[in-house]
């Protein structure tokens, strides 16, 4: 697989010297601050506050967080060790509910432990750390694979709309939806991007615009409510977004606003693609109605960026994700290939 020319300007998440190092995404784009964590509690806080975010990246963070919790274990028996592992695994798994990658990665750590429970604890710890690094490395590889497959859907000269950040900052490598764009650009295609700012936390304006600019890609920021007009002007050839969880029937949870973008794309007959690694598919859930949707604090809307912008005591509804029904999705781009509908059959 071609590693390509795109060097992501940041290392979103890494395992260095038995610590987890992340770039604090709440400080971007104004400050580039890296943070090192040595406890699961710090990782939990970083996930909760969206210092590290994006479904694939929080999967990696969860696996690394488990390592932090067990690497200094002094347990001498497997049952005692398992109890330690379960405690930290359950703690991290419940930090954010919607992205399935978090529980997927943590359950994989738990299975790896079970599969090696006859080993001495120190050996088991090393195996678990290797497994977390494997999750990280596999995520990098999956980004490249999604980029390869997805780039076949983009023609030279196209302008693409994206929502939220499904880029390098959401993964261990160069993204899901943005991997497709990076790869198309590497192939010599001339691609422009419109980035929805993505209220309330502005991941599009703060993160997607920043990483595309760092990589020299032409990006224009719009407010979420301008996407319809831009589509109506005929400026958009395709929509590419990421995913936080894909149900068995293809219904896809992603950042709030994605469902609306999908409806607008359908109205304007613009193809609408989901790009996500296979770790985002949840075979245990039949459809979107069963995906838990995180609701977040009202202050994200009423006091978003340093200033109160709504009346005291106003009622607010702040779901962090929505579900796009499979019927609105043109295709799913995964690391295994492009899935056409019907999702469950294919």
Q: Of the two residues 93 and 206, which places its CB atom closer to its own copies in the complex? A: 206
Residue 247, helix vs strand vs coil: coil
- Using the rule CB under 8 A, give the single segment among 72-80, 123-131, 227-235, 335-343 that binds its own copies: 227-235
Q: Of the two residues 99 and 195, which places its CB atom closer to its own copies in the complex? A: 195
Cα(44)–Cα(82) distance, integer angstroms = 20
Q: Of the two residues 80 and 223, which places its CB atom closer to its own copies in the complex? A: 223
* Cβ neighbours around 140 below 10 Å, total: 16
Residue 20, helix vs strand vs coil: strand
Q: How far is CA 329 from the centre of its chain?
A: 18
- Using the rule CB under 8 A, give the single segment among 71-79, 133-141, 151-159, 254-262 that binds its own copies: 254-262
Contact with its own copies (CB under 8 A) among 190, 309, 340, 346 = 309
Could you tell me if 292 and 245 are in contact, meaning their C-beta atoms sit under 8 angstroms apart? no
Q: How far is CA 147 from the centre of its chain?
A: 15
Q: Applying CB under 8 A, does 8 fall inside the site for its own copies?
A: no
Q: Applying CB under 8 A, does 319 fall inside the site for its own copies?
A: yes
> Distances from the Cα of 326 to the Cαs of 60, 127, 322, 329, in angstroms?
27, 38, 13, 5
Q: Applying CB under 8 A, does 133 fall inside the site for its own copies?
A: no
Could you tell me if 99 and 48 are in contact, meaning their C-beta atoms sit under 8 angstroms apart? no
Distance in Å, CB of 245 to its own copies, minimum: 15
Could you tell me if 55 and 320 are in contact, meaning their C-beta atoms sit under 8 angstroms apart? no
- The residue from 173, 196, 224, 244 that is catalytic is 244
Structure-block tokens of residue 313: 């005591």
Could you tell me if 270 and 236 are in contact, meaning their C-beta atoms sit under 8 angstroms apart? yes
Structure-block tokens of residue 1: 């697989």
Q: Applying CB under 8 A, does 315 fall inside the site for its own copies?
A: yes
Q: Applying CB under 8 A, does 151 fall inside the site for its own copies?
A: no
Contact with its own copies (CB under 8 A) among 263, 294, 341, 344 = 263
Contact with its own copies (CB under 8 A) among 76, 216, 314, 345 = 314
Could you tell me if 203 and 257 are in contact, meaning their C-beta atoms sit under 8 angstroms apart? no
Distance in Å, CB of 268 to its own copies, minimum: 9
Tell me 279's DSSP state: G
Residue of 134, 176, 182 whose CA lies nearest to 8: 182
Contact with its own copies (CB under 8 A) among 38, 39, 73, 220 = 220
Cα(331)–Cα(150) distance, integer angstroms = 10
Distance in Å, CB of 293 to its own copies, minimum: 9
Query: In degrees, to the nearest 5, what angle opens at C-alpha 107 toward C-alphas 344 and 89?
Result: 140
Distance in Å, CB of 342 to its own copies, minimum: 21
Q: What do you get for the CA distance between the two ends of the chain, in Å?
A: 24
Contact with its own copies (CB under 8 A) among 136, 182, 259, 273 = 259
Q: Applying CB under 8 A, does 10 fall inside the site for its own copies?
A: no
Q: Is 244 a catalytic residue?
A: yes
- Using the rule CB under 8 A, give the single segment among 52-60, 147-155, 178-186, 256-264 that binds its own copies: 256-264
Q: Of the two residues 1 and 30, which places its CB atom closer to its own copies in the complex? A: 30
Structure-block tokens of residue 72: 């200094």
Q: Applying CB under 8 A, does 134 fall inside the site for its own copies?
A: no
Q: Applying CB under 8 A, does 216 fall inside the site for its own copies?
A: no
Q: Applying CB under 8 A, does 31 fall inside the site for its own copies?
A: no
Q: Applying CB under 8 A, does 56 fall inside the site for its own copies?
A: no
- Binding residues for its own copies, rule: CB under 8 A, are 29-30, 194, 196-200, 202, 205-206, 209-210, 213, 218-230, 232, 256-257, 259-261, 263-264, 266-267, 301-302, 304-319, 322
Which residues does the annotation mark as catalytic?
A: 244
């Amino acid at each position: 697989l071609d590693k390509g020319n795109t060097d992501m300007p940041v290392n979103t998440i890494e395992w260095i010297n038995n610590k987890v190092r992340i770039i604090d995404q709440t400080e971007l784009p104004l400050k580039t601050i890296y943070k090192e964590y040595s406890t699961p509690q710090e990782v939990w806080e970083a996930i909760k506050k969206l210092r590290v975010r994006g479904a694939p990246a929080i999967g990696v963070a969860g696996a690394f967080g488990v390592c932090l919790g067990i690497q200094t274990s002094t347990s001498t028996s497997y049952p005692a060790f398992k109890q330690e592992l379960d405690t930290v695994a359950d703690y991290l798994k419940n930090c954010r509910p919607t992205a399935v990658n978090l529980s997927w990665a943590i359950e994989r750590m738990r299975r790896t432990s079970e599969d090696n429970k006859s080993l001495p604890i120190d050996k088991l710890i090393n195996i678990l750390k290797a497994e977390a690094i494997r999750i990280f490395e596999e995520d990098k590889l999956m980004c490249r694979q999604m980029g390869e497959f997805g780039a076949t859907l983009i023609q030279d000269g196209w302008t693409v709309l994206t929502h939220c950040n499904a880029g390098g900052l959401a993964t261990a490598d160069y993204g899901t939806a943005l991997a497709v764009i990076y790869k198309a650009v590497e192939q010599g295609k001339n691609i422009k991007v419109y980035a929805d700012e993505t209220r309330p936390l502005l991941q599009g304006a703060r993160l997607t615009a920043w990483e595309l600019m760092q990589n020299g890609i032409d990006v224009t920021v719009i407010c979420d409510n301008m996407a319809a007009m831009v589509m109506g002007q005929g400026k958009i050839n395709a929509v590419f977004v990421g995913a936080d969880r894909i149900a068995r029937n293809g219904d896809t949870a992603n950042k709030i606003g994605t469902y609306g973008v999908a409806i607008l794309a359908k109205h304007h007959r613009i193809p609408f693609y989901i790009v996500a690694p296979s770790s985002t598919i949840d075979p245990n859930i039949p459809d979107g109605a069963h995906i838990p949707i995180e609701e977040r604090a009202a202050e994200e809307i009423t006091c978003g960026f340093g200033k109160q912008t709504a009346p005291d005591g106003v009622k607010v509804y702040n779901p962090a994700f929505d579900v796009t029904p499979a019927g609105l999705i043109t295709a799913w781009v995964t690391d295994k290939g492009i899935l056409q509908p019907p999702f469950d059959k294919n």
